[in-house]
Amino acid sequence: MNYISLIEELKKRGSVPGLDAIEGLLEELGHPEDNLKIVHIAGTNGKGSIFAYLSSILIAAGFKVGRYISPTISCYEERFQINGKYITKDKLARLYNIVEEAMKREEEKTGLKPTLFEVETAISFLYFKEEEVDYALIEVGMGGRMDATNVIRHPELTVISSISYDHQAFLGDTLEEISWQKAGIIKESCPVVLSENSDEVCKVIEQEAKKKRVKCIEIEPTDYEVLSETPYGSTFLWKEQRYETKLPGRHQVSNAVTALAASEYLFHKDYEKNNARKAIAKKLDEMNVKSAQQGGIIRTCWPGRLEVLKKEPLFYRDGAHNPDGAKKLAAFLQKYFTNKKIIYIMGVLKDKEYKKMLRYLMPMAKEVYVFKPNNERGLSAQILADTIKEVADVSVTIESDVNAAVFRALDTAKPDDVLVACGSLSFMEEMEDIL
């Protein structure tokens, strides 16, 4: 069975919170995760952006960096990458064969059947161990405490991004309950870097850090100063250093500062252990670190997050898929495009709070083109259209898929209009090149 066929089989197992299956699988594989220097991140929004920044900074400093990402936009192999290069199909096929044999042994012993996400997590550990990466950046899939990635026993650092409402059926109905689940990745072996968050979120994370007897490095709005913002990026000051990011939106400055704080800790820890770096004068090493941080931030790109696909008409692609993401997208559009015609291209998943998302997004909408994502969780385009009509008096057109919606919107848009494809990351891999 090739790995594409195996993936389709594994998809049928759905999502099963808990660590028993992944623990058993990793036992069969010799626990490759124990041989990695891992940075582990949980949160509702901003995980990918923070790790895009952190990866870019570490690469600029000369490190070999592995990233495990899900979901992806360009292709399946994008999930497993080293220094920005995707795993080859041949390597991925070989690793899938290894893991498939381990799955069979596990099932014979315990009867447990790992899910697709658990298998992908195991593959990422195997791949990064084989390639001897300096750092492996691992994103939680959902929650944290019961997520498959939480088999990591001794991370170098944990990071908590922005926390808001999402996956309530699994994580709880309050921010405190959701935060408690996310805080489950905090380990006694290392501190946690906490992004800007509400007081109730911070309190839960602080309590967990105290319980684990580790430092909580909190990012606050007073830690940095925004110098300028444009629809294409921002400049800001952090610890008396000037940085420029090409990721638009005020929230991306906050994400960048979170990554900078994480990199600061990692650089300091590496310096204390790395004889080659300790041979360099401390002052010169600090200059090299600052250069890597500045270069890493400005070179960071992260597809699907207020990504500019076209400039005339201006076309953004954004993965806003929950109320908090929609709120941030709406704030960005209101700041820069109050006098522009906003045209949305939308597909959402039926298990998301799409009604709340629409309340943030629709006040600016002039036209909306909707479709059902090619996903078993995809919401009917007709239901989405009807819900939009309940929220706003706006023209809504139903299309067969994302590309039909994109080309229809582009065909009707004028050069000074603003188009925004949003609602889910799940359909972005299907989007054809519009340039």
pLDDT in tens, the chain (435 residues): 578 888 888 888 887 778 999 999 999 999 999 999 999 999 998 999 999 999 999 999 999 999 999 878 888 999 999 999 999 999 999 999 999 999 999 999 999 999 999 999 999 999 999 999 999 999 998 888 999 999 999 999 999 999 987 755 567 778 899 999 999 999 998 999 999 999 999 999 999 999 999 999 999 999 999 999 999 999 999 999 999 999 999 999 999 999 999 999 999 988 888 888 888 878 788 888 999 999 999 999 988 889 999 999 999 999 888 898 999 999 999 999 999 999 999 999 998 899 999 999 999 999 999 999 988 889 999 999 999 999 999 999 999 999 999 999 999 999 999 999 999 988 888 887 765
pLDDT recorded at residue 1: 54
pLDDT recorded at residue 160: 97
Q: Does residue 261 form part of some domain?
A: yes
Q: Does residue 434 form part of some domain?
A: no
* The domain boundary residue, chosen from 299, 317, 341: 299
Q: Does residue 428 form part of some domain?
A: no
Does residue 204 sit in the same domain as residue 291? yes
Number of domains observed in the structure of the chain: 2
Question: Which of 112, 97, 185 shows the shortest CA–CA distance to 149?
Answer: 185
Cβ atoms of 368 and 423 within 8 Å: the answer is: no
pLDDT recorded at residue 10: 85
Beta bridge partners of 66: 82, 136
Residue 143: CATH number of its domain: 3.40.1190.10
Residue 418: CATH number of its domain: 3.90.190.20
Residues in the chain: 435
Cα separation of 182 and 258, whole Å? 17
Q: Where are the alpha helices (DSSP H) in 274-395?
A: 275-278, 282-299, 323-336, 354-361, 381-391
* The domain boundary residue, chosen from 299, 325, 351: 299
Which tokens go with 74? 């360009």
pLDDT recorded at residue 168: 59
Cα separation of 46 and 162, whole Å? 6
The pTM score is 0.91
* The domain boundary residue, chosen from 258, 277, 299: 299
pLDDT recorded at residue 435: 53
Q: Does residue 427 form part of some domain?
A: no
Does residue 267 sit in the same domain as residue 392? no
**CB neighbourhood size of 419 (10 A):** 24
Q: Does residue 398 form part of some domain?
A: yes
Which tokens go with 303? 């597809």
Does residue 330 sit in the same domain as residue 400? yes
Does residue 277 sit in the same domain as residue 409? no
Does residue 190 sit in the same domain as residue 330? no
**CB neighbourhood size of 75 (10 A):** 10
Does residue 220 sit in the same domain as residue 339? no
Cα separation of 387 and 396, whole Å? 10
Q: Does residue 69 form part of some domain?
A: yes
Q: Does residue 201 form part of some domain?
A: yes
Does residue 319 sit in the same domain as residue 389? yes
pLDDT recorded at residue 170: 61
Cα separation of 80 and 77, whole Å? 6
Q: Does residue 429 form part of some domain?
A: no
382: containing domain? 307-422
Does residue 285 sit in the same domain as residue 311? no
Does residue 340 sit in the same domain as residue 288? no
Does residue 225 sit in the same domain as residue 202? yes
Does residue 295 sit in the same domain as residue 331? no
Which tokens go with 313? 């008409």
Q: What pairing do the DSSP bridges indicate for beta strands 157-160 and 233-238?
A: unpaired
**CB neighbourhood size of 99 (10 A):** 22
pLDDT recorded at residue 80: 97
> Who contacts 44 (Cβ-Cβ below 8 Å, separation ≥6)?
161, 162, 163, 164, 165, 166, 178, 182, 322, 324
Does residue 329 sit in the same domain as residue 212? no
